[in-house]
Structure formats: structure tokens, C-alpha cells
Amino acid sequence: MSPGTSTVFRNARLLCPATGRDAAGSLLVEGGRIVSLDGTGAPEGAEVIDCGGAILAPGLIDIRASLGEPGHEHRETIESAAEAAAAGGITTLCALPDSTPALDDPALVGFILRRGESTGSLTILPYGAATRGCLGTELTEFGLLSEAGAIAFTDGARAIESARTMRLALSYARAFGSFIVQHPEEPSLSRNAAATEGEMATRMGLPSAPAAAEAMMVARDIALARLTRGHVHFAHVSTAAALDLIRAAKEEGLRVTCDTAPPYFDLNETAIGDFRTYAKLSPPLRREEDRRAVVAALADGTIDAIASDHQPRDADDKRVPFAQAEPGGAGLATLLGVTLARHHAGDLPLMRSLELLTAAPAKLLDLESGRLAPGAPADLVLIDLDRAWKVEAGRLPGKAQNSPFDGRALEGRVLGTWKAGARVHG
């Protein structure tokens, strides 16, 4: 959309978790921003889009995704990720820094920001590497990375193993008004594991790690957050024990937040049956009681956001014996549909489902997007809540096709996505 261009979205169900709005209405966009929520004041010649009663909501904010670029463009490029994101209603994406090279230099952070802008459809907000090369030893220059645009600090899919290093990281991040994102698995217990320890892993003959490895790391880092008064955010939390610890830390008033990803509230460890490498993830899929605990934590507010946890892999990464396969699943195109499955199942109210994908991550990251309000960016998604579709690996948008939800029937489809008022999908 060029500056000054106007669009009116009419006959929409305006749904905004940030403001609590859920009502039929119209929305006026001019110059890439929302002007009004009653559709009045549109100039003559404005484009009119009839939403047909579908839900018009803020564009989704994905707070955790890996991109193949730089270093693994054979798995995914920023352009292909942007295509998949737009199809999934995602207009803002937070990119992990464990690329090749890692995002441990301000110039690389700036490169990712510019590449996101160049897509025209997706704002990419890069995390800075917490340690050099994401190797867990030497801390990076948090101040310089923050100035370059890093939104927070993490070593991505690697846990920060050293308690001393984590303590320093939390202290330094606090000094720069930022936080640390931790992959919560105790490395000495979880290294080289392919599944969660238990009957299924034993029956399949797979190397495994106890589910307690997650809670152990969470407990340690909560203690460090208490010590430093820093902010720790736990990624893709997947066990009841870890969630109990996080819930208690929040009640204590500590600066502790967390997210989870769709596999951990929609699938359990039975999905790896028949050695399905698409379902080999990190952390691994858990028992059914843990899946139910994650659903409960989404509903009660313990979990702050849902992330796609997008990890692109190619055929060579997955068409090998299960124990040797690379962990990770493609998640951009399925983020909304799998989240809405919990609404359709009666586990989550619709407003809460969308809050976890819009207003909640915007609040966590202090973004101006994620809301339908005058002056806010016109990042929008149009959703048919009841339209059925089937996840088919090989036919998903984008390059990455390694979906753990391959074959899953879903209800809730993106009809259109707009970035700064310009239609980028549908």
C-alpha cells in the first residue's frame, strides 16, 4: 500500500484481545495504519474489502522461529519463510540467532532486520546470541547488539549450561532492559536424546532423557532470576513439573515468563510411533498428562505466548533412522490452525487463543503491533473460523515441509493477510 492509500474493511467481526473488542464492524486503514474502527471518514475512491462476516484480527506475532538464512538456505530462506508466515497470518516474527554464523555481531543483527524489511510482508525481529557462536562460554556485547536491534538474548536451541554464565547473562540483560530466553533442558541429561524417557522410548529402543531434565533447568534459572532480579523467559515449555515451578515463580513476583508451541498441546509421544521423524522435536514430545497440563497452563495464564517453534529441515535431515534424524518441525503455516483446534475442542476461549498469538507476545516484547486501535500498524489477518483444511507435507507454503502435523485435519483458515495495509496473502 502506498502512502495515502485508503482501504475499508467492511462486514467484519473485529476481534482484538488487547482491547477486548469482539463485535461486528468496519475498519479504515490509511497510509499503513489503522485510522478508525467504525469505517467512517473513508475518502472517495478508497478500496473496499467485504469480509463476509469473517474474523478480522491483528496479525500474528511469532516469538520463536528459526530461519535457514544465513547458512542453511537449502532448508529455508527468508523469502520462503515470509511466504509461509503470510499464509499463516503471521506479520511479525522473532528469529533465533543460532544460524551460521550466529547472530553475535551487530552487523548480522542489522542484516536480518533489513532482510525482513525487504520481504515487504514480514517484520523480522532478531534475537541476539547470548554467547559467542551460541556455544555457551563467552558472553556477547549485549549493549551493542541491543543498539543494533536485538530484542532479547538466547542461544536458541542450546541451553545456557553454565550457571555462572547464566547468572551473568541475566544481570547484563537486566542492565540493558532486556531478558534471556532459555532452552530449558539440563544438557548432561538430555544430550543426544531422541525421545522422552519411559515405556515408549524403551519399546522403540531410542536414546531418551527424563522429562525432569526440563524442570531441573527451570528450577535453577528461577533461582538465578531471584538472585539477579533479571528476567528469564523459558521457551517451548512442555512438562507439568516445569509449569508448576513457573506458576509458583510468578506468584512470588519474579520476572519469569514462558511460551510453548503447538506440538506440546496438540500431540503427545505416541506421535513418534512407527518412527515418524517429522515428530522428532526438541524438546521431545511428552506423555499425555503433560500435554493436558500445557493446555491448562494456556488457559490459566501461566503460559505467556504460543510460538511456532519453526525449525526447517530438509529431506536429508529426516529420511534417516529416527535416532539420527535432526529434531525440529515446520510450524509457520500451522500455528493458527493448531491453536484454534484447542478452541474448537472447548479447551480455550477464542479470545484467549488469539491473545496468545497477538496481544500477549506484543506485551512481552513491548511492540506497538498486536492490536486493533487507531494509530496501530495495519497488520491484519482475516480468518474463517470454521473452514476445514488438511495439513499435507509437500504442499505447505514455503520451503520447509517437515510438519509434525502432516495429515492433521484442522478448522480455521487464513483468508487474507495484510502488512502495513498491503495485502500479502489471499
Residue 407 lies in a domain: no
Q: Any idea what the CATH number is for the domain that residue 272 is in?
A: 3.20.20.140
Active-site residue numbers?
Answer: 309
Residue 267 lies in a domain: yes
Contact of 54 with 13, CB cutoff 8 Å:
yes
Instruction: Give the count of domains, the chain.
Output: 1
Determine the Cα angle at 375 with ends 373 and 379, to 5°.
70
Residue 108 lies in a domain: yes
Residue 40 lies in a domain: no
Residue 4 lies in a domain: no
Contact of 22 with 356, CB cutoff 8 Å:
no
Residue 410 lies in a domain: no
Q: What pLDDT is stored for residue 3 in this prediction?
A: 44
Q: Which residues pair with 131 in a beta bridge?
A: 139
Residue 392 lies in a domain: no
* Mean pLDDT of successive 10-residue stretches along the chain, which has 426 residues: 74 97 96 88 86 98 96 95 98 97 97 96 98 97 98 97 98 98 97 96 97 98 98 98 98 98 98 96 98 98 98 95 97 98 98 98 97 97 97 96 97 98 96
For residue 176, give its domain range.
59-365
pTM for the model stands at 0.96
Q: What pLDDT is stored for residue 4 in this prediction?
A: 53
Q: What pLDDT is stored for residue 2 in this prediction?
A: 47
Residue 405 lies in a domain: no
Q: What pLDDT is stored for residue 1 in this prediction?
A: 43
